[in-house]
């Protein structure tokens, strides 16, 4: 299915990234998995932004999902998590548009001290819904033609983005932002893809 799952805005400090605003669409996940899906996506976007250099675009594949990241030269970062059917170019166009709108409303001086709860930016959730249909991007042809010149680096696994010696499993288990339940989900989800894994 052509689908967007998450749209995030982050600010990249020297050592870590902080969420400024997040929006999710987790309707397609099982009811009891939705919280975990959100946790995991938040974790993924933070991890990838921290490992993306300023003024670069990346697209990172992981299983059925793909995470598009753009960190601007001023360290404001945007993330889109979608599936493979969603056109990459449109995803990056959406990030550019959202970051432009955000920095028009909140000037760069406020980013370092901002905190997600105090930021009012309802346009993010609205864009996430509207862009579920990628044809919405037709109106953005101008940005898109500028985008063509920027190179998007494509990685086939999240491992390619991590630094030497880092492992995804370790990062997840060490993470403080993921709940105990999400970690349990992640551990078992790896084993439960086979059909009768619970039975027996």
Partner 1 sequence: MQEEFYAAAEKILSDLYNLFSKDPKLKSFEILPVVQIENKSPIHVEEHCLALESWCVPHIYCYAYKNLMNHRQIKGKLRDAEKCNTLLMGALLLNPDITTFWNMRKELIRSGKLDPYFDLHFTSVILTFKPKCADLYAFRKWILKYLVQSSRNNENLFENEIQICEAAADRYSNNYHAWTHRIWCLTQSLPNSLQREWAASMKWVQRHVSDYSGFHYRQKLITFLLSYIDSRSYDQEVIKLILFSVDEATEGFLHNFKTYELTAQTIPLTLKIFVYELSLNSDLIWNFVGHEALWCHRRFIFHEIKRLLLDSNCPKYWGRLDTSNPADGTPPEKTPKIGKHSVGSEFSLILSIYEDMFLAKCSDEREPRQMFYANKHKQWLAKFSKFRLPLNEDRDNPVFRGSYK
Is residue 31 near partner 1 by the rule CB under 8 A?
yes
**List 104, 117, 139, 196, residue binding partner 1 (CB under 8 A):** 196
Let me know how long the chain is: 200
Is residue 87 near partner 1 by the rule CB under 8 A?
yes
Is residue 129 near partner 1 by the rule CB under 8 A?
no
Is residue 85 near partner 1 by the rule CB under 8 A?
yes
Is residue 2 near partner 1 by the rule CB under 8 A?
yes
Q: With respect to partner 1, which residue has the nearer C-beta, 133 or 177?
A: 133
Window 43-82: residues binding partner 1 (CB under 8 A): none
Q: How far is the CB of 169 from partner 1 (least distance, A)?
A: 16
- Six-digit token string for 19: 């969420």
**List 30, 107, 122, 165, residue binding partner 1 (CB under 8 A):** 30
Tell me which long-range contacts 149-156 makes (C-beta under 8 A, separation of at least 24): 150/57, 151/57, 152/57, 152/58, 152/59, 152/88, 152/92, 153/56, 153/57, 153/58, 153/59, 154/58, 154/59, 154/61, 154/88, 155/58, 155/59, 155/60, 155/61, 156/61
Residue 176, phi then psi, degrees to nearest 5: -90, -20
Q: How far is the CB of 31 from partner 1 (least distance, A)?
A: 4
Rg of the chain over Cα atoms, rounded to whole angstroms, equals 17
Cα 153–chain centre separation: 15
Cα gap 36→115, rounded to integer Å:
22
How many CA atoms lie less than 13 Å away from 39 in the CB half-sphere? 18
Q: With respect to partner 1, which residue has the nearer C-beta, 85 or 166?
A: 85
**List 135, 146, 177, 179, residue binding partner 1 (CB under 8 A):** 135
Is residue 134 near partner 1 by the rule CB under 8 A?
yes
Is residue 5 near partner 1 by the rule CB under 8 A?
no
Q: With respect to partner 1, which residue has the nearer C-beta, 123 or 140?
A: 140
**Binding region for partner 1 (CB under 8 A):** 1-2, 28, 30-33, 84-85, 87, 89, 134-135, 148, 184-185, 187-189, 192, 195-196, 198-200
């Amino acid at each position: 299915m052509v689908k967007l799952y998450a749209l995030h805005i982050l600010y990249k400090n020297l050592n870590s990234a902080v969420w400024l605003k997040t929006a999710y669409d987790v309707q397609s996940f099982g009811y009891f998995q939705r919280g975990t899906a959100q946790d995991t996506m938040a974790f993924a976007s933070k991890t990838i932004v921290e490992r993306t250099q300023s003024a670069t675009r990346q697209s990172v594949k992981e299983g059925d999902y793909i995470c598009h990241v753009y960190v601007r030269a001023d360290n404001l970062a945007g993330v889109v998590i979608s599936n493979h059917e969603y056109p990459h170019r449109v995803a990056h166009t959406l990030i550019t548009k959202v970051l432009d709108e955000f920095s028009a409303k909140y000037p760069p001086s406020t980013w370092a001290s901002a905190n997600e709860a105090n930021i009012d930016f309802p346009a993010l959730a609205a864009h996430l819904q509207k862009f579920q249909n990628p044809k919405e991007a037709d109106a953005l042809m101008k940005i898109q033609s500028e985008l063509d010149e920027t190179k998007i680096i494509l990685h086939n696994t999240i491992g390619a983005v991590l630094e030497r010696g880092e492992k995804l499993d370790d990062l997840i288990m060490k993470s403080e932002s993921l709940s105990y339940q999400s970690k349990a989900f992640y551990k078992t989800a790896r084993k439960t893809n086979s059909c009768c894994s619970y039975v027996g």
